[in-house]
């Protein structure tokens, strides 16, 4: 691991979170640079600024807090300091842009399996890529891509995971839909060790995607899906659909069967599992 750069910028040594501690937990020299900040607007935004300037693969940006954390569908991702994981990994994978869905699934699978091995929790994936424990959201993924001429210029894989957030962070409605590792296990965890395991796992899924294509990822996604077999409601931009979530197809689309038996393939939307 000779050329791995460890940058704890802004002297971030927030207890359980530092680039050095993350590096200690890595099993290979795949990741070239780990940058750890005390606070940024959004790790995805920082990664984007870096990549637009000079795209470089295998870079990780972590922050103790985010002032303008971004969620899916234009929502905010609440990112208080000292508790949770906010990180973005930059990769330049040589895959076709039509397989880009799997660049969101790879970090979801990596996060689910790292959480399972480090904390013992059973993490499921609500379509498309919400990380769920006992029906509540414990983490989310936001992958942002730039592509051109049939190639991916770079992919920014943003991961937000609630680790040590507690009751005061989940006031009101959030208490019904969100959870954290601490809420589920009753104890606090060192974030750096979980981050390192996510990066170890992400490396593995990255190689699978490059060498074997989307099928291994699709298979594990289906295995971990909390959605397949459930009655669901999906908010799309112009309509609301409901029906049985029958499957996830080979392109990552949700196969929805309506009460009349009609099947539709949905590429994106806000999904609620009913029963
Ligand atoms: C979701 O809405 O489920 C996706 C949430 C993604 C949040 C993470 S936190 C790290 C990275 N930086 C951001 O601004 N967002 C992602």
For residues 152 and 102, what is the distance between their CA atoms, to the nearest angstrom?
A: 13
Cα of 85 vs centre of ligand 1, distance in Å, is 10
Helices (H) and strands (E) in the chain, counts: 7, 13
Report the pLDDT value the prediction gives residue 6, as an integer from 0 to 100.
63
Report the pLDDT value the prediction gives residue 5, as an integer from 0 to 100.
61
Closest-CA residue, ligand 1 atom 8, reads 160
Cα of 213 vs centre of ligand 1, distance in Å, is 25
Closest-CA residue, ligand 1 atom 2, reads 71
Report the pLDDT value the prediction gives residue 14, as an integer from 0 to 100.
60
Instruction: Look at the alpha carbons of 70, 84, 136, 100 in this order and tell me if their dihedral is positive or negative.
Output: positive
- Strand 130-133 relative to strand 136-148: parallel, antiparallel, unpaired? antiparallel
CB distance 156 to 144 below 8 Å: yes
Report the pLDDT value the prediction gives residue 149, as an integer from 0 to 100.
87
Cβ neighbourhood burial of 204 (10 Å; 0-12, 13-18, 19+): middle
Report the pLDDT value the prediction gives residue 156, as an integer from 0 to 100.
97
Report the pLDDT value the prediction gives residue 2, as an integer from 0 to 100.
36
Residues in the chain with pLDDT values less than 50: 1-3, 11
**Whose CA is closest to 246, among 223, 229, 222?**
229
Supply 135's token pair. Answer: 């029906």
At 23-62, the pLDDT tens digits run 999 999 999 999 999 999 999 999 999 999 999 999 999 9
Q: In what order do the strands lie in the sheet containing 270-273?
A: 263-266, 254-257, 240-248, 231-235, 270-273
For residues 238 and 271, what is the distance between their CA atoms, to the nearest angstrom?
A: 14
Best residue for ligand 1 mutational test, from 159, 161, 177 (most atoms within 8 Å of Cβ): 159
For residues 156 and 91, what is the distance between their CA atoms, to the nearest angstrom?
A: 7
Report the pLDDT value the prediction gives residue 3, as an integer from 0 to 100.
46
For residue 22 and ligand 1, the question of a CB distance below 6 A is answered with no
Cα of 261 vs centre of ligand 1, distance in Å, is 36
Cα of 29 vs centre of ligand 1, distance in Å, is 26
Report the pLDDT value the prediction gives residue 84, as an integer from 0 to 100.
97
**Whose CA is closest to 268, among 258, 248, 260?**
248
Closest-CA residue, ligand 1 atom 9, reads 160
- Strand 124-126 relative to strand 270-273: parallel, antiparallel, unpaired? unpaired
The closest-lying atom of ligand 1 relative to the alpha carbon of residue 70 is 14
With residues binned 3-state (H G I as helix, E B as strand, rest as coil), the percentages for the chain, rounded to 5, are 30, 30, 35
Report the pLDDT value the prediction gives residue 11, as an integer from 0 to 100.
46
CB distance 198 to 114 below 8 Å: yes
At 222-234, the pLDDT tens digits run 999 999 999 999 9
Supply 245's token pair. Answer: 């979530």
């Amino acid at each position: 691991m000779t050329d791995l750069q460890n940058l704890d910028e802004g002297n971030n040594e927030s207890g359980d979170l530092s680039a050095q501690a993350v590096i200690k937990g890595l099993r290979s020299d795949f990741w070239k640079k780990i940058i750890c900040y005390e606070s940024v607007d959004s790790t995805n935004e920082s990664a984007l600024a870096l990549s637009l300037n000079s795209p470089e693969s295998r870079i990780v940006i972590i922050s103790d807090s985010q002032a303008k954390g971004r969620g899916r569908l234009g929502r905010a991702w609440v990112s208080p300091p000292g508790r949770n994981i906010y990180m973005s990994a930059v990769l330049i994978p040589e895959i076709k842009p039509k397989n880009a869905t799997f660049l969101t699934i790879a970090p979801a699978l990596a996060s689910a399996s790292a959480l399972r091995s480090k904390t013992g929790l059973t993490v499921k994936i609500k379509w498309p890529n919400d990380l769920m424990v006992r029906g509540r959201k414990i983490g989310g993924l936001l992958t942002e891509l730039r592509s051109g001429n049939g190639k991916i210029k770079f992919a920014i894989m943003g991961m937000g995971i609630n680790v040590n957030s507690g009751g005061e962070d989940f006031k009101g409605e959030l208490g019904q839909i969100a959870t954290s590792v601490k809420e589920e296990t009753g104890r606090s965890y060192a974030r750096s060790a979980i981050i390192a395991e996510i990066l170890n796992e992400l490396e593995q899924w990255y190689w699978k995607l490059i060498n074997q294509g989307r099928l291994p990822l699709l298979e594990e996604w289906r295995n971990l899906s909390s959605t397949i077999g459930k009655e669901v409601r999906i908010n799309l931009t112009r309509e609301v659909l409901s029906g049985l979530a029958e499957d996830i197809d080979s392109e990552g689309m949700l196969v929805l069967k309506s009460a009349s038996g009609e099947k539709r393939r949905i590429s994106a939307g806000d999904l609620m599992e009913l029963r």
